[in-house]
Every structure is written in C-alpha cells, then in structure tokens.
Structure 1
C-alpha cells in the first residue's frame, strides 16, 4: 500500500524532469538573444561615437571652404554683411570643438541639420535618396548572391576542372576590377555602341519621379545593377567554392560515394546544406562593400541615389549632409554584420558555443 501510495508522486516527478530541461533551454536561449542585442547595441553606440569624431575631424581639416562651395562664383558679388550672415547661419564662426558638441547635441535629439546644397533637412535628403539607392542595391545584392553561389557550387563540385579554372579566373578578375571602371565599360558597350540601355538617370529626362513607369525605372536600373552584380559575384563565388570543396571531401560525402551515390547527388543532398549558411552570412556581411560600390556606380551613371549625394556633399563642402550620410552608412553596415553574426550564432552550434564562452551572445 505504501508503494502504491507513493507511485503517483513518482510519475509526476518524472514528467517534471522531462519538462524542466526544455524550460531551461528556452530560458537560456531567451537570455542569450537578449545578451546578444544588448552587446550589439553597446557596440553600435561606441562605433557611432568613434565614426562621428573621426568624420567631424576630417571634415574640419578639409581644404574645401563651405562658404565658397555654397555661394560659388557669386561670393565676390555679395557684401561682407551678407557673407557674415551666411557664416553665422551655418555656425562656421564657432570653433570646431564647439561646433562638434553642438552637432552631437542636435543628433541626440534626432536633428541632423539642414543640407547646404539641397536646402532640406538631412534626414529627408537621406530618406529620399536611400529609397532610390535601395532598389539598385537590393537588385544587385540578390543577383550577385544567387549568381555567386551557383558559380561557387559548380566550381567546388568540379575541383581543378576546366570549369573550375574558368570560374576562378572570372572571380579573380572581378575581385580586382573597380566598379566605376566596369560601369564605364558596360556604358560604352550597351548604351553608346548598341543603344540598348539608357545612358544616365533613374528615369527618362523630362519625366518626374511620380510619372515614371515601372518598366522605365527597371530599364534605367538595369545597367548600374549589372555593374554591381558582376563585381560582387567574386567574393561569394570564391568563398562558396572553398566550402564546397571541403564538403565534397568530408567523411559523410566519401561514405555516400562509397554507397554508389553520384557526385551531383552528394552535392545536392549533403553538401549544399553546409555551404548555404556561410554563403548567406557572407552576403549580409558584404553590405559595406555594396554600399561603397554603389557610390562609384551611381556617379558613373548619374543615378540620383545616396551614393551620388555623398559625392556631391564631399565636393561642395556640405558638412551636415556628409556627416549624416556617414552616420547612416555606419548603421547600415553595422546592421548587415549584426544579421550575419545572428544567423551564424543561431544556426551553427559551434559558433554559438564559442560566442557564449566569450560572453558575446
């Protein structure tokens, strides 16, 4: 009777032991994700602080006079009083250190200032131009990722073959090719010689933004996106190729081959799952290179995006816009790297364990 009376608590205790590890696992994962975001937020704050100080120092040491860049040749025709008002309006009559603290105080309140060349708030200029650049970067990012992954898989499957050598040669050439040079080559071939694509702009001349059709936008987007895609293929293709070679020479691949499975079957059923995650995370980590390449490509094709606005701000001494774009680009690149780290730490147990041991997530 005593044993019968004690059996129900034993069963309940057994169920509790089965549930407790699951509850502990959920709590640990939740704590790990929270710690990851806190760590990344602190690193983002430190990164923005360092970028702000460096960017403001470089802008202050620039030989370009913002007043001359803003007024242009008309500076000789204005009175000293008008010139003093312009200098006071942009705060150029204060010491650089004082201007830096004033700018930091305004940034903390969400005010990035007013653009000197567009005469609009910097936040509005960045939002408008980034939406235009987003179409270009998104298309180039997607095409380069898919094409680079396919070429890397094919090269890794046929290691040291003629196909592998051809893909490697193409990747090495593209890795050493500047995006602006590739843009000029494509522009001279497809726009000047063949006349298949527009020469410049995001829509036909004389057409406003709201009146441009979807096909017109895509037609003007095609060549700049192709420029960034062809150059961006190199890194993802070479990285995927190395991972694919390691996967095809692994123990489970050799075991599958000994069971009679073909090389293509081994690649599809066993190797792809191991090379897909590194390729995706590398693609997110390459957003910085994509942003830098878009600056040069937009300048070549006169594409009215954020990259072209960056060049104009640097040439014409638009300090508020240049600093605002610098901060925005830092956040953009940081988010790409954070997504890559999150994917790796989430789906790869080895990276996750190493991350937890170093208290990074």
Structure 2
C-alpha cells in the first residue's frame, strides 16, 4: 500500500511542476506574440477605435502593466481558483472551458474508442496473416494515413459524405436552431460521426502497426511454438497468449495518443464548424486571449497527465507482474 501512496505523491508533485512550467512558458510566449491584443480584441471595428477607447481597453485588461506583474497577478488569481476572464467571450475562463469541453468530450471519446478498437483489430488481422495481401493492405493504409494531415482527411470526408453524398451534416454539433442542451442522443451522434471518423482514422495507424509487430513476435516465440505442437490453433493462440501480450503496448499508445487527439480536435472542429474546446483554442490564439489560452493549455496538460497516470495504474490489471513503485523481492 505504501508503494501506491508514494506513487500518487510523486505523480502529484510531477503534476505541480508540469503545470508551473506550462503556465510560465505559455503566459510568456503568448504575451510576447506580435499580434496586437487590442486590435484582435476589437476586430473589424478597429478602424473606428479612438485613442481614448484604446486606452480604456488597455486598462480594462491590465495590458499597461509589465509582463512580470501581469503574470503574478494572474498567478495570484489562479491560487484562489480563478483562471481569469476570457477577452474573447467576456466570460470566466473556467465557464468557457467547462461549456466547450462538454461538446468536445463526446467527440474525443468517440474518436478515442474508435481508433483503439479498430487499431487493435487491424493489427491482429495483419499480424495473424503476415505477408498476406490483407497484411499488405493494412500496412499501406497505416503508412499512408500516419503521414496525412488531419485537416486534409477532414476536408476529404466533408466533401465526400456531406457535399457529394449528402448523408452527413455539413457542420455544427446540433441541427439548425436547436440548442446543444436540447439535442437528443441520436442527433448528437449523427453530428459527431464524421468529425469523430476524421479524428480516429489517423489514430488507428500507430496502434495497428504496433499491435501487428507485437503479435508477430508472440506468434514466433518458443512458448507459442510449443502451444502449436500441443494442437492449439492460431485463433486459440491469439486469444490465450496474443491479446494479453499486445494489450499493454496498445494501451500505452492509446493513452499517449490523448495529446495528439487533443491537438487534432482543434483542426477537425475548425473544418466541421464544431463548437468545442478546439475551436475556442483557435479563437483564443487568433485574438491573443492570454487568460483563455493559458487556461486551456493548463486544462489540456491535466487531461493528458491523467490519461498517462491511468495507463500506469491499469498496467497492474493487465499484467500482475508489474508493481507500482517497486518490484517484488
């Protein structure tokens, strides 16, 4: 039990150091951006902006203060549980993140599950049929899509299924005129299918290739050759020996892909006009919204960190020989 407590304390310390580093770097880099914050805040009405109005905006958002002072003022608010106010949405940053993440969570969850299940399935098929036409086709698919940009895949899917075949919506998370809180489960799923497919298609590649290589190693091992000699079939070998051995690296890759998934969400939501956390991140970057952008970066760091920690904890379930914080004597 003390190993688990030490593991949790170490992880918590790492998280604090990670968040501090991410906060400092993000705040400084965004604050030093060449984008004029006032012009980005006002938008197209900047040509009608007078000097007095500009000064009022600068004072309103504390842009007249030195960078170090602004950072420590923001840090003081953060220690009190306040992420600040978004310049883009004129709302508390925590409210913007909570509202937008509810929409993005459905998208990321569906894409994450889809890429994991399909990746493992394709990897098992390719590994079990090594050098066959099926194996070559799966590897071609994986190598091609692993190097394809996410937004390009999203645009192709949008053109094919929405513009040409007209079987999926062109954009948004809800039908026109319907609030997000009022949509039914099937309406939400209908609007999620294409964006989730665009996100999961590329994530499949790494998991499929890794699963294939691991399964081939298992099938060529001595204990599997002995199992074949005892009359075991290939299906039996995969079920009784293969899945347990490929589960751990597949799970590791799956949780590690959360960061890529979060980054891909930004591009996919932009292409499909999906009102999630990804589109809010893009708006915060374009408008130089420091509080919102730093808040989203901190949230994404926690999100990815939790995913990696869950992967570490789940190792014990898959492989009891692994012990957190130490090894057996």
Is 1:190 matched with 2:161? yes
Aligned to 1:85, what secondary structure does the other structure show? Answer: helix
2:277 aligned partner = 306
TM-score by length of 1: 0.87
Q: Which consecutive residues of structure 2, in runs of 5 or more, have no partner in the other structure?
A: none
Higher RCO (CA 8 Å, separation ≥ 6 residues): 2
Instruction: Give the 3-state SS of the residue equivalent to 2:326 in structure 1.
Output: helix
Question: CA offsets, 1:105-164, max 9 Å, x none?
Answer: 111111111111111100000000001000000001111111101111111111222211
1:230-309 residue pairs with structure 2 within 5 A? 230-309=201-280
Residue in 1 aligned with 2:151? 180
CA distance in 1, matches of 2:144, 2:323: 35
Larger Rg: 1 or 2? 1
Question: 1:135 aligns to what?
Answer: 106
- CA distance in structure 1 between the partners assigned to 2:187 and 2:307 by the alignment: 30
- Cα RMSD (Å): 1.6
Give distance in 2, aligned partners of 1:76 and 1:151.
Answer: 56
Which residue, out of 309, 315, 326, partners 1:356? 326
User: Which contiguous aligned blocks of 4+ residues in structure 1 show a shift greater than 4 angstroms?
Assistant: none
Paired residues for 1:83-232 under 5 Å = 83-232=54-203
| Structure 1, gaps ≥5 residues long | 1-29
Q: How much has 1:210 moved relative to structure 2?
A: 2.9
Residues 283/90 of structure 1: CA separation in 2 closer, same or farther (3 Å cut): same
CA distance in structure 2 between the partners assigned to 1:339 and 1:285 by the alignment: 11
C-alpha distance in 2, partners of 1:80/1:270? 73
Alignment check: 8 A CA contact 1:201 1:301 kept: yes
Question: Which residue matches 2:7?
Answer: 36
Q: For 1:18-33, what aligned pairs fall within 5 Å after superposition?
A: 30-33=1-4
Aligned-residue offset at 1:352: 3.3
Q: Distance in 2 between matches of 1:227 and 1:253?
A: 37
Alignment partners' CA distance in 2, 1:87 and 1:300: 33
